[in-house]
Amino acid sequence: MKDPVSRHTRLQSRSKKPPKTSPGSASNSVPNSAPNWGSDLSSGTQEIVVYPAQFVNLDHVREFVGAAAQKCGLDASAIYAVQLAVDEAFSNIIEHAYGGECLDKIECKCHIADSGLTVTLRDCGSPFDPSAVPDPDLAAELKDRDIGGLGLYFIRQLMDKVEFSFVPDPETGRRCNVLRMQKRKES
């Protein structure tokens, strides 16, 4: 199996121009593009990998986000929470956005900052509206519950902040799903 496409970037302030790199290079400097979730996450390092939407890549994405979580100093419990949330989200993208395993891509971007980690997953599969997912009835008997439906609930419980949005793909113009999850370091 081929290694996933990888690009590691060091963020710079908006006033600096990124150095020129040749097309297809593996390392690029980019202007700050951190989510607007507080000034403490506005600087740091971004690491990006792109995987085909296949379950065999779950181990790779868990290792990637685990390493990023460790770099920003999250404790073992927080690292596990990040890995579990990303595993669930990645699996849901394969199953629901793409309708099963395929060669379409899932981009995973980790923004590593002193205060914590932001993980962004982007796919261009079927649009997903999280507001259409009802809250699970956790008080219901197991026999009365629908199969599935807890993934989004678990992701929200495991992470400190979860945000969904849509962006156009710069190459195809297709509307892509963006899931942004944040885990802050304990003070």
Task: Look up the CATH number of domain 43-184.
Answer: 3.30.565.10
pLDDT in 10s for each residue of the chain, 187 residues: 444 444 333 232 222 233 332 222 222 223 233 334 443 445 789 999 999 999 999 999 999 999 999 999 999 999 999 999 999 999 999 999 999 999 999 999 999 999 999 999 999 999 887 777 777 777 778 777 766 678 888 999 999 999 999 999 888 888 999 999 999 998 6
Rounded Cα distance between 49 and 119, Å, is 11
Domain boundaries defined on the chain: 43-184
Q: What is the pTM of this model?
A: 0.75
